[in-house]
Amino acid sequence: MPHIEVVTHQLAEALNQNSADYIEARLEESQSSYITYRGRELESIGRTTAMGGNIRALVKGGWGFVSFDNLDELPSKVELAVKQARLVGKEESKLAAVEPVVDTVPAKIDKNPVAMPLAEKKQLLDEYNDVIWHTPKLQTSVISYGDSHKKVIFLSSSGSHIEQERADITLRLTAVATEGSEVQQAGLSLGSRGDFSLIQGLRQQVEQMAQHAVELLSAPQVRGGEYTVVLDPVLAGVFVHEAFGHLSESDFVCENDRLRQIMTLGKKFGSSELNIVDSAAIPGLRGSYKYDDEGVPAAKTYLIREGRLAGRLHSRETAAKMKERPTGNARAINYHYPPIVRMTNTYIEPKSASFADIIGDIKEGIYAKNWYGGMTSMEMFTFSAGEAYMIRHGRLAEALRPVVLTGNVFTTLENIDAIGNDLEMNQGGGCGKGEQMPLPVSNGSPHIRICHCLIGGK
Amino acid sequence: MESILGQAKKVAEEAEVFTISSEETPVRFEANRLKHIQGKRSNSVALRIVRQGKIGYAITTGLDSSQKLVDNAVETAQFGMTAKFEFPPLTAYPQVEAYDPDVESVSLEKMIELGEKLIAMIKGHTADIVCEAVVTRGVVSVRIINSRGGQANYRKSIFSLGIEGTLIRDTDMLFVGESENSCHPLLEPKVVAEPVLQQLELARNRASAPSQSLPIVFTPNGVASALIPPLMAAFNGKVVLQGASPIGNRLGQPVFDEKLWLWDDPTIAYRPGSRPCDDEGIPSQRTPLVEQGTVANFLYDLQTAALAHTRSTGNSSRSRGGLPTPSPSAFVIAPGKASFDEMVGDIKEGLVIEQLMGATQGNILGGDFGGNVLLGYKVESGKIVGRVKDTMVSGNVYQILKQITAIGSEAKWVGGFLQIPPLYCPSVSVASK
């Protein structure tokens, strides 16, 4: 059985012998484990291993891509990718120039989570499940834990040879409470870049989640309409990801002339307090890395600076087409897919307001916390809160059923009229784009206040 | 495969080997131009064992040694669920047509031409639209063998044609799109182009919706985006067993409008969800779920069925490479009598919903849905007058499907796995700017 290192030399030669404008290869070896509980009983537990790779070739602006689980006959796979690219290419190839890199990047974790005994991981989940089941009126729970460790070797016809390792952990807990035919649920999403200790010691949070599911059974549903809304750092992180992050991914912008006219650098989107950043270069978060899947170094990119459009996320191709600098944002979830422009760690920079300042002068509004999900169509977006409370006369009041919020990127960012001082990064998310999901990312923000935010309801 | 089964039998009472291999060729168009041809091959081997009465499981892409796979399965069996079922012995399977050799012989050139024609038809209507299109052909092969002598194998072909168009005017964005899937080659771009052209026509003007409860006609795409996901969860035998399905204890009771009939059917010829057996080798069957508004069945795999003291409905799926779990193969809602035009004609003021964005991010288990109208139209005095935006539609499927004004006669396949007619609901909550 060949390991991926064994075939790299042969593959590097094959890349150089072909006459495409550019060829790259990614070889990948991964191990993962997962444990899920449904109710009190363990539902499934398993280990997965995978090894494979892909070749991507560019000829006259057209791409060919071949992915495989079998490391045999690599030169013929290179030929096939080039042949496909030739069939497509009719223009000029454009790729932003980057220096070839030769580097090895270890995972930088004390302990590989996949290699830990399953018994140790199970023990933690048992502890959390016990906490959930001690809550009265609770019907059931769902817990799903997953970890992975992978090594990726990147080779390119321009001479890059990068070996990177990374580990990832996700833990999602859901508590379900019922009364008659009424079913309510509350959830908690956690994650880390391979550090198991970050998901330990959270009994109190798990307990609060379970109690919240029960509280929801008697909570009223909000009336639909426009409200002043305060978002906690978790939900504001999802908001910034959905509301603005996806629109900053320039693969969508770069081929669309109309959109390019709208998205000119310097365009005003929000108040001068608003700064939005994407950065894979912050170490230790789930969206962090040293090089992206095209071998481009990670960078810190201001998407919005002082309320104005300041930058966007690029692959080598989109950067060249828009004549901007590459930002190192081309990512693929695994070797079955080519890299596309993606976010990494995306956040709103903190300002000076305290939570008390933010809610103090709200007569009637909604405090929305925690995360269910979010989606965007670029212009319009929705995101949903796992918890919500009325705000009355500057104080938190009764709990509400989970709310779904919606907005329009061209107006909602302008409606942010307070930004808190308490930035927190949430590691529990996974991002989907096209067919590639979930990709490890993190989102963050301080508390923020949005006026005239549309909320669905009865 | 046989050697893995042999090795596993040495250390376990029972064993099952499941392999799936696929070959997929997507041809992608971006910004109205051919951009990317891909060739994807993958295969994986999953081993499930019962050791000391407990289930163990491991999966690999097939390059690992088989001993490693067996060792991983043995390790997980220490903690696994107690197996309550037996693997099926050698069984006869129904004849289900899901493979058409013509799919594999569609050339890349032909696929490129299809995509180009499709885009040209849309551009011919609206010159400044920016389209992404994908033409995909693929073949999937499945083989299952187990220690009780059971074995199954089948091949499936899949061909799909899809397009999404974005039309931008100032900061206003309109998204239109359609896709079609089959086990036969789809060589007529018209089937996908025509619905898109109709969407462009209907969205030409803008209209606004008031914030109040309104009658709504959900098109088949609209039903799929808003109402189906909660139902899929509710009819899942595992959710029922957990006590987390709102209809779990309503078997045989009327829960929905008596016009509603719903079933799961993996035996329809040449549909992407069809197959002769499920992922545990249980023969495919048509399973009624709602008959005349009454809850008729839930969907089960072997283990869940055993725990619930019932039989597997042949709905085991391993979609994410994990252990088998119950899942629908193809949901079918029986069409009714009303034409789409009759339903719209009946509305004084209301909406037609084609796509609800983010509808499933709420409390799906409880039946809630709520989302932003990505594509939907205002109806005034029986006529569609234009597109609505910045509008939220929310509700609960159990309240909404209790009383349906009419079920449409024009059922359509959505995403290859749902065959649904339009549904006309008398009153749904709408909030708008």
The ipTM value here is 0.88
CA torsion angle B357 B359 B362 B367 (round to 10): 180
Chain B residue with Cα closest to A89: B35
Q: What is the pLDDT of residue A182?
A: 85
Q: Where are the alpha helices (DSSP H) in B59-189?
A: 66-77, 108-125
AA letter at A288: S
- Which of B200, B229, B263 is the last residue in one of the domains? B200
Asked whether residue B109 falls in the same domain as residue B136, the answer is yes
Cβ contacts of A65 on chain B, cutoff 8 Å: 36-40
- Identify whether residues B345 and B397 lie together within a single domain: yes
- Dmax of chain B from CA atoms? 73
Domain ranges of chain A: 4-217, 225-455
Q: Is the pLDDT of residue A374 over 90?
A: no
- Between CA A456 and CA A402 the distance in angstroms is 10
Fill in the DSSP letter of residue A394.
T
From B173, B200, B227, give the residue that closes a domain. Answer: B200
Nearest neighbour of A69 by CB, restricted to B41, B128, B433:
B41
Q: Which residues contact B163 (CB under 8 A, 6 or more apart)?
A: B118, B119, B122, B131, B132, B133, B134, B177, B178, B179, B192, B193, B196
* A2 pLDDT more than 80: no
A139 CB neighbours in chain B (<8 A) are 242-244
In angstroms, the CA B164 to CA B177 distance is 4
Cα–Cα distance measured from residue A440 to residue A334, given in angstroms and rounded to the nearest whole number? 11
**A176 contacts B79? CB cut-off 8 A:** no
Closest CA to A357 of A276, A447, A424: A447
- A-chain residues within 8 Å CB-CB of B357? 375-377, 380-382
Cβ-based contacts of B30 with chain A (< 8 Å): 255
Contact B399, B213 (CB under 8 A): no
Please indicate whether, in this complex, the C-beta atoms of B36 and A64 are within 8 angstroms of each other: yes
Residue A435 has pLDDT above 90, yes or no: no
pLDDT at A181: 79
- As a whole-number percent, the residues of chain B with pLDDT over 70 amount to 99
Q: Is residue A457 scored above 80 in pLDDT?
A: no
Rounded distance, CA B433 to CA B428, Å? 17
Q: Is the dihedral of CA B265, B271, B276, B281 positive or negative?
A: negative
Please indicate, yes or no, whether residues B38 and B117 belong to a single structural domain of this protein: yes
- B79 contact residues in A (CB cutoff 8 A): 35, 42, 45, 118-119, 122
| A:B CB pairs within 8 Å | 256
Kindly report the backbone phi and psi dihedral angles of residue A191, in degrees, each rounded to the nearest multiple of 5, phi listed first: -170, 165
Please spell the DSSP secondary structure of A400-455, one letter per residue.
E---EEEEEHHHHGGGEEEEBS--EEE---EEEETTEEEEE-EEEE--EEEEEEEE
Q: Cβ distance B132 to B167 under 8 Å?
A: no
Residues B113 and B8 in one domain: yes
Q: Please check whether residue B164 is in contact with residue B177, taking contact to mean a CB–CB distance below 8 angstroms.
A: yes
The partner residue sitting opposite A69, judged by closest CB among B62, B76, B242, is B62
- Min CA distance, A42 vs chain B (Å)? 6
Cβ distance B37 to A65 less than 8 Å, yes or no, reads: yes
pLDDT at B63: 62
State the alpha helices, DSSP H only, in B12-97: 66-77
Say what the pLDDT of residue A1 is: 46
Closest residue in B to A40 (Cα–Cα): B242
pTM above 0.90, yes or no: yes
DSSP SS3 for A79: helix
Q: What is the CA radius of gyration of chain A?
A: 23
Instruction: State the smallest CA–CA distance between residue B94 and chain A in angstroms.
Output: 30
- The alpha carbon of residue A456 is apart from the nearest alpha carbon of chain B, in Å, by 6
Query: Using one digit for the tens of pLDDT, what is the confidence trace for B96-151?
Result: 999 999 999 999 999 999 999 999 999 999 999 999 999 999 999 999 999 999 99
Q: Are B132 and A434 in contact (CB under 8 A)?
A: no
CA distance B344 to A216: 37
Residue of chain A nearest B32, judged by CA positions: A255
Residue B218 binned pLDDT confidence (cut-offs 50, 70, 90): very high
Q: Hey, which residues 255-274 in chain B have their CB within 8 Å of chain A?
A: none
Mean pLDDT of B398-407: 97
A23's tokens: 């060829």
Same domain for B279 and B187: no
Helices B2-11 and B66-77 cross at an angle (nearest 10°) of 40
Q: Residue B320 — pLDDT band, cuts 50, 70, 90?
A: low
Nearest chain A residue to B361, by CA: A373
Do B243 and B361 fall within a single domain? Answer: yes
Residue B216: band (very low, low, confident or very high) from pLDDT cuts 50, 70, 90: very high
Statement to judge: residues B216 and B275 lie in one domain: yes
Q: What per-residue confidence (pLDDT) applies to B65?
A: 78
Q: Mean pLDDT over residues B33-53, rounded?
A: 95
Which of A118, A183, A226 lies nearest to residue B433, judging by beta carbons?
Answer: A226
At B80-98, the pLDDT tens digits run 999 999 999 999 999 999 9
A-chain CB neighbours of B174 within 8 Å are none
pLDDT bin (cut points 50, 70, 90) of residue A101 is: very high
Q: Does residue B282 contact residue B312 with C-beta atoms inside 8 Å?
A: yes
A interface test, pick of B54, B63, B134, B433 with most A CB neighbours within 10 Å: B63
The highest-level CATH class for domain A4-217 is: alpha beta
Q: Using an 8 Å Cβ cutoff, are B18 and B43 in contact?
A: no
Distance between alpha carbon B154 and the CA centroid of its chain, in Å? 20
Is the CB of residue B246 less than 8 Å from the CB of residue A181?
yes
Q: Which of B4, B30, B37 to mutate to test the interface with A (most CBs of A within 10 A)?
A: B37
Rounded-to-integer distance, Cα B359 and Cα B372, Å: 7
* Distance of alpha carbon B246 from alpha carbon A178, whole angstroms: 9
pLDDT at A98: 95
User: Which tokens belong to B331?
Assistant: 């949901």
Q: Is B11 exposed, middle or buried (0-12, 13-18, 19+ CB in 10 A)?
A: middle
Rg (CA), chain B: 24
Strand partners, B158: B138
Task: Quote the tokens at residue B356.
Answer: 């609800």
Report the C-alpha gap between B419 and A80 in whole angstroms. 38
Q: Quote the domain boundaries for residue B390.
A: 205-433
Q: Which domain CATH number covers B144?
A: 3.30.2290.10
Q: Is the CB of B127 inside 8 Å of chain A's CB atoms?
A: no
- Is the preceding peptide bond at B26 cis, omega within 30 degrees of 0? no
Q: φ and ψ at B109, to 5 degrees? A: -60, -40
Strands B14-30 and B130-146, bridge-based pairing: antiparallel
**What's the half-sphere exposure (Cβ side, CA atoms, 13 Å) at B282?**
25
Angle at which helix A203-217 crosses helix A118-133, to 10 degrees, equals 40
Largest CA distance in chain A: 72
B92 and B59 both lie in a single domain = yes
* DSSP single-letter state for residue B327: -
Backbone angles phi, psi at A195, to 5 degrees: -90, 105
Same domain, B178 and B261: no
Helical residues (DSSP H) of B26-97, grouped into ranges: 66-77
Predicted confidence (pLDDT) per residue in A220-246, tens digit:
989 989 999 999 999 999 999 988 999
Mean pLDDT score across all residues of chain A: 93
- Do B408 and B336 share a domain, yes or no? yes
Q: What is the mean pLDDT of residues A381-401?
A: 93
Cα-Cα end-to-end distance for chain A: 60
Query: Does position B73 have pLDDT exceeding 80, yes or no?
Result: yes
In this structure, how many other beta carbons lie within 10 angstroms of the beta carbon of residue A257? 12
DSSP secondary structure letter of residue B2: H
C-alpha span between A302 and B270 (Å, rounded)? 50
Boundary-marking domain end, from B149, B171, B200: B200
Mean local confidence (pLDDT), A332-358: 97
Domain count, chain B: 2
Residue B174 sits in the same domain as residue B220? no
Phi, psi of B60 (to 5 degrees): -150, 165
CA dist A446 and A16 (Å) reads 49
Burial of B346 (0-12, 13-18, 19+ CB in 10 A): middle
Same domain, residue pair B136 and B269: no
- Residue A406 CA from chain centroid, whole number: 20
Query: Which of the 8 DSSP states describes residue B64?
Result: S
- Helix/strand/coil for B251: coil
